Structure 1
Amino acid sequence: MTVEWQGVFPAATTQFTPAEVVDMDATRAHLDMLIRAGVHGLVMLGTVGENCSLEAEEKRAIVKAAVEVSAGRVPVIAGVAETSTALACRFAADVEALGADGLMVLPAMVYKSDARETMAHYRAVAQASGLPVMCYNNPVTYGIDITPEMFAELADEPTLVAIKESSDDPRRLTDLVNACGDRYVLFGGVDDLVLESAMLGAVGTVAGLVNAFPEETLQLWSLATQGRYAEARELYRWFMPVLHLDCDTKLVQYIKLAQAMCGHGSETCRAPRLALEGEERARIMGLIQQAIDTRPGVKAA
């Protein structure tokens, strides 16, 4: 299906059994819940989906399952995060054959490429399939910054259509527009900057805490995009303590714990990520429980 690059696209979790085996039935059920809640697309195999902890065949099986669960209801975007350009190109072609509707491409993992190498990687992956590509810029986590000037240089690649901007600096959205005009569709990629991102021109968000709080995430996005900022701010202030969990090294563990506490899946991650313990577990559970206990009623927005 044609991707409409707008709205709330969950960075969906991958569900595991207690033995850390991919639980495909639970993953399917979680994706169906998100779609029924009203999300506008699915991003599989992002950071929250534990891409780099999965084997190649597991990744392909997860994308295949997402395509089957969606059944054309929403577009399925496959994350591409590999250690070499050749592997990324191969995976891009594979998920196109599996029926994915688009790609979310990261720079090559582990090696910190310079600007020339980073742009060569994106050009190669863009040309490896016919799918539209969202470029994922997250220098905070991955140590590689795709600057507005680099995006301007990449503008001649027709399938590079969207940017997930996760630099943790909302000024980047304005810099991207100033450098590239309306060439790219802009998405926010940081949960606790979603309102600012919408105000500054993002037309979509790749969200993490939506896995636990889908109704509230969708309502916040709807209020923000309608310009109902007073109502959006009130909801945002309630949501913010848990939205901050998206911006920690342990975001995957935190988001999965939140989704488990909200009844939307298991908190099990694959090692080296381990279950939270002690004071840290008590503190994070306290933040999540406070949000659950005080969650506002979701209204039609």
Structure 2
Amino acid sequence: MKLNWKGVFPAITTPFNADLTVDHGFLAEHVRWLIDNGVAGIVPLGSLGEGATLSSNEKRQILETCLGAASGRVPIVPGISALGTAEAVELAKHSASVGCRGLMVLPPYVYSTDWREMRAHVAAVIAATELPCMLYNNPVAYRTDFVPEQIEELAAEFPNLEAVKESSTDVRRVTGIRALIGERLDILVGVDDAIVEGIDAGATGWIAGLVNAFPAESVALYRLALEGRKREAAELYRWFLPLLRMDTVPKFVQLIKLVQERVGQGRVHVRPPRLVLVGDELRQAEATIQRALASRPAL
């Protein structure tokens, strides 16, 4: 079983109603809109999806909605993480049983430790199903850093480990992984404001955030970078960067949901401990969004 990891995969936000229940109607609409705009797959339940605030039952219901909305047009690749290994393994098995076609494997939400323990956790999730897996490396958020040598070790043991989402913010990691294992794994850029540099370094896919509001621009930027059309990519990137940088700060969920609301593709509701933006943060974000919309390029 193989999955095509090339393309733009939105790490989708989880839409909430005013009472902070999941808005399944809009979720389905959003998934269909993203697919219509050319994305290669849908990644629910990740960091941007506020996965840590969702109950196990809510996660299952979100997967059902995404699968129904996608209707097999693109793969659904849920983020698999939990406080404990047993819960993560259970979610992985459930994802396989309902028709998901791949898994994004995260470290535990809270516990960060040495390679022996982190290896045991992700290995248990990868081994739980035969689904293609993508390892999520985000040391900034999770305080666990899967270095290239450790990724090489996992790739040697697990044939169904097919990709890495590299979110260390250091594009040298892309070349470091390639130097060790060649083309054995697909590498996907996991931070929005490193996409062009990441593809230049050898990445072949993008787990994207601002795509939730700007899918056409995201797909266009990815294709221009992948095709080596540097001048056109640089021009679009220059316009997009102030927005893409919203993906790499602590309040990235609030910011991206604000952008979605301003383009008519979502609402700002977030679950505590997150709170909606106010004051100077809100004014600065609004100004950035307004400048971008005023100069939005024709594709």
Specify every segment of 5 or more residues in structure 1 that has no aligned partner in the other structure, as ranges: none
In the alignment, what sits opposite 1:253? 254
Q: Provide runs of 4+ in structure 1 moved above 3 Å.
A: none
C-alpha separation in 2, matches of 1:293 and 1:3: 38
Task: Give the CA RMSD over aligned residues.
Answer: 1.0
Asked if the contact 2:76–2:102 (Cα under 8 Å) also holds between the matched residues in 1, the reply is yes
In the alignment, what sits opposite 1:137? 137
Number of aligned positions between the proteins: 298
In the alignment, what sits opposite 2:277? 276
C-alpha separation in 1, matches of 2:163 and 2:67: 21
Asked if the contact 2:2–2:132 (Cα under 8 Å) also holds between the matched residues in 1, the reply is no
Quote how far apart the aligned CAs of 1:272 are.
Answer: 1.2
Quote how far apart the aligned CAs of 1:109 are.
Answer: 1.6
In the alignment, what sits opposite 2:265? 264
In the alignment, what sits opposite 2:31? 31
In the alignment, what sits opposite 1:216? 217
Q: What letter is aligned with 2:135?
A: C
Q: Name the TM-score, length of structure 1 as normaliser.
A: 0.97
Quote how far apart the aligned CAs of 1:282 are.
Answer: 0.6
Q: Deviations over 1:165-206 (max 9, x none)?
A: 000100000000112221111100010000001111111000
C-alpha separation in 1, matches of 2:2 and 2:264: 32
Quote how far apart the aligned CAs of 1:50 are.
Answer: 0.7
C-alpha separation in 2, matches of 1:3 and 1:181: 18
In the alignment, what sits opposite 2:59? 59
Quote how far apart the aligned CAs of 1:140 are.
Answer: 0.6
In the alignment, what sits opposite 1:147? 147
Q: How does 1:193-204 map to 2 (within 5 A)?
A: 193-204=194-205
C-alpha separation in 2, matches of 1:98 and 1:285: 40
In the alignment, what sits opposite 1:186? 187
Quote how far apart the aligned CAs of 1:2 are.
Answer: 5.2
C-alpha separation in 1, matches of 2:260 and 2:215: 10
C-alpha separation in 1, matches of 2:283 and 2:2: 44
Quote how far apart the aligned CAs of 1:219 are.
Answer: 0.7
Specify every segment of 5 or more residues in structure 2 that has no aligned partner in the other structure, as ranges: none
C-alpha separation in 1, matches of 2:159 and 2:64: 26
Q: How does 1:18-167 map to 2 (within 5 A)?
A: 18-155=18-155, 156-167=157-168
Structure 1 residue matching 2:12: 3-state secondary structure? coil
Asked if the contact 1:63–1:95 (Cα under 8 Å) also holds between the matched residues in 2, the reply is yes
Structure 2 residue matching 1:77: 3-state secondary structure? coil
Structure 2 residue matching 1:173: 3-state secondary structure? helix
Asked if the contact 1:2–1:75 (Cα under 8 Å) also holds between the matched residues in 2, the reply is no
Quote how far apart the aligned CAs of 1:297 are.
Answer: 0.3
Q: What letter is aligned with 2:187?
A: L
Quote how far apart the aligned CAs of 1:266 are.
Answer: 1.1
C-alpha separation in 1, matches of 2:154 and 2:142: 20
Structure 2 residue matching 1:42: 3-state secondary structure? coil
C-alpha separation in 1, matches of 2:2 and 2:148: 26
Asked if the contact 1:185–1:203 (Cα under 8 Å) also holds between the matched residues in 2, the reply is yes
C-alpha separation in 2, matches of 1:17 and 1:133: 31
Q: What letter is aligned with 2:54?
A: L
Q: Deviations over 1:5-55 (max 9, x none)?
A: 100000011110011110000111111110111111100111111100101
Is residue 2:239 matched to residue 1:238? yes
Asked if the contact 1:268–1:275 (Cα under 8 Å) also holds between the matched residues in 2, the reply is yes
Q: Deviations over 1:74-125 (max 9, x none)?
A: 0100111111111111110011111111100101121112111111111111
Quote how far apart the aligned CAs of 1:273 are.
Answer: 1.0
Structure 2 residue matching 1:144: 3-state secondary structure? coil
Structure 1 residue matching 2:43: 3-state secondary structure? strand
Q: How does 1:166-181 map to 2 (within 5 A)?
A: 166-181=167-182
